[in-house]
Amino acid sequence: HSVDGNPDLCVTGPCKKEEKKKNLAVPIIAAVVSSVVVLSVLALLWSYRRKQVPKQVARTHLKGSGRSLKLDNRHFTYNEVLNITNNFQTIIGKGGFGTVYHGLLSDGTQVAVKMLSPSSTQGSDEFLTEVQLLMRVHHRNLVSFTAYCNEGTNIGIIYEYMARGNLAEYLSDKRKDTLTWKARLQIAVDAAQGLEYLHHGCKPPIIHRDVKTTNILLNEKMQAKIADFGLSKCFQVENQSQSHLLTTVVGTLGYLDPEYYNCNRLTERSDVFSFGVVLLEIITGRPALIKSEGNAHIIQWVSAFLERGDIRGIVDPRLQGYFNINSGWKAVETAMACVPLNSNQRPTMSHVLMELKECLEIELAYEQSLETQGVLKESRNTFEMSPLGSEIDTMPLAR
């Protein structure tokens, strides 16, 4: 630090040697004393600010990469987090970021508490990004933000609790029951609505960058919501002619847009590709990378059946044929339209959403016609028993 107004240590004008020797010490001592005083005051001020400011900053700002974020009164102390999670008693999820715990607010509201571990692959910047976006977005198909914790190494996000877990769990072949075709289409529509809002309902648009089945969560009523915005990016362009962002590639293998991976060119249609993969998983009940087929990508696997025109070979066999064939074909065609290598050939999420709504309408009309004929009622009693509650459209697998 420099001190303004410090007097020159050299005095202009002629001087005698005797006077110089006698008076030289005076300005030096004065300068030293004044410097010590100023430095002492600065040290005290720094010490005071160090004690006082962080408390205020912790309650109103999160800082990272030169950015700050005002968070009103949505800050939870670490002690409050310990209290609402009952000392982190119940784990509901784990990932590269750390661990997610079940929490209960004083008013009885259930929440999920995501705490970052010190070795987290999601650093402070990603954490800040997620909090910023969760505060900014408001849609029934996006998980809602409740609060945050930021005390030293104790960093966490408190958000809406999704009682039914993630979509990947419901598509797993380890489950004893499986989602009906209607339920699958409704989940696809829900997720598409969330993405469509990010792309077309936000200004600037938001690109999620990590759309996958584990990031689609389900609430008590099996309503699907997009989660995990740690890798999301705002599509902030300098001019209207700019069609993409050049950025470091992030995401999950199997869901990554090849064009984005190879060229670092990020657009909203990178999310469309990932969603297409998710939709194929919903249709087939198979993962993005199929281990039993030598880690073949699900796009290649479906393409082989399409060449033979075999829709029943594509749709999850656990459905045992209980779906409308036209709805099935339309869903597969919609999914495959999302995954061309050239992003310009992919539809927007608005178009994808429209197509999926039509798929659902076809299935609903089909089920209505079967009900009228008295056919579906029998199949429901036999195949659509719901061990998890009446709201959940699942069916037990044949033994």
Q: For residue 254, what pLDDT is reported?
A: 96
Residue 88 above 80 pLDDT? yes
Distance of alpha carbon 371 from alpha carbon 378, whole angstroms: 9
Distance of alpha carbon 353 from alpha carbon 361, whole angstroms: 12
| pLDDT > 70 fraction of the chain, expressed in percent and rounded | 69
Radius of gyration of the chain (CA): 30
Q: Which domains does the chain have, with CATH numbers?
A: 78-160 (3.30.200.20), 167-396 (1.10.510.10)
Q: For residue 121, what pLDDT is reported?
A: 56
| Residue stretches of the annotated binding site for ATP | 114
| Mean pLDDT along residues 198-227 | 95
Q: For residue 247, what pLDDT is reported?
A: 62
Q: For residue 83, what pLDDT is reported?
A: 98
Assess whether 210 carries a catalytic annotation.
yes
To 5 degrees, how large is the angle CA 130–CA 131–CA 133? 65
Confidence class of residue 50 from pLDDT cuts 50, 70 and 90? Answer: very low
CB 281 within 8 A of CB 170: no
| Mean pLDDT along residues 130-138 | 82
Confidence class of residue 126 from pLDDT cuts 50, 70 and 90? Answer: confident
Distance of alpha carbon 192 from alpha carbon 209, whole angstroms: 14
Higher pLDDT, 340 or 390: 340
What are 167-208's pLDDT values in tens digits? 999 999 889 899 999 999 999 999 999 999 999 999 889 999
Q: For residue 60, what pLDDT is reported?
A: 35
210, 257, 316, 393: the active-site residue: 210
| pLDDT > 90 fraction of the chain, expressed in percent and rounded | 54
What are 92-109's pLDDT values in tens digits? 988 767 899 999 999 999
| Residue stretches of the annotated binding site | 114
Mean pLDDT value across the chain: 79
Q: For residue 13, what pLDDT is reported?
A: 46
Lowest mean pLDDT among 60-64, 120-124, 188-192: 60-64
Chain-centroid distance of CA 237 in Å reads 21
Residue 323 above 50 pLDDT? yes
Confidence class of residue 395 from pLDDT cuts 50, 70 and 90? Answer: low
